[in-house]
Amino acid sequence: MQVAIKKWGNSLHLRENQSLNIEIENSNILIKPITRELESLLAQITPKNIHNEISFGAAEGKEIW
């Protein structure tokens, strides 16, 4: 099950359809954020969903090195 904890006033609450891991360990409920590794995110890039390069023109102002 994946949920998220959000601040509601001065308290925290769980929100549906968000990303957290909930585990039971030694009769305790553990709520942990889902961490995403760069390698796993990059592995999801395919030729079908990759974006093309976009030209923003020549460097200007503080962009010039």
Beta strand segments in the chain, E: 4-8, 11-15, 20-25, 28-33
Paired with 25 in beta bridges are 28
Q: Quick check: 5 pLDDT over 70?
A: no
Residue 37 within any structural domain of the chain: yes
Q: Mean of the per-residue pLDDT values for the chain?
A: 83
Q: Which structural domain range is residue 20 located in?
A: 1-47
Average pLDDT rounded to a whole number, residues 58-63: 90
- Between 28 and 2, the higher pLDDT residue: 28
With 0-12 CB in 10 A as exposed, 13-18 as middle and 19+ as buried, what is 62? exposed
Residue of 35, 17, 36 lying closest to 1 (CA atoms)? 17
How does pLDDT run across 35-49, given as a tens digit for each residue? 778 998 899 999 999
Residue 47 CB partners (closer than 8 Å, separation 6+): none
In the chain, what percentage of residues exceed pLDDT 90? 37
Q: In total, how many domains does the chain have?
A: 1
Residue 12 within any structural domain of the chain: yes
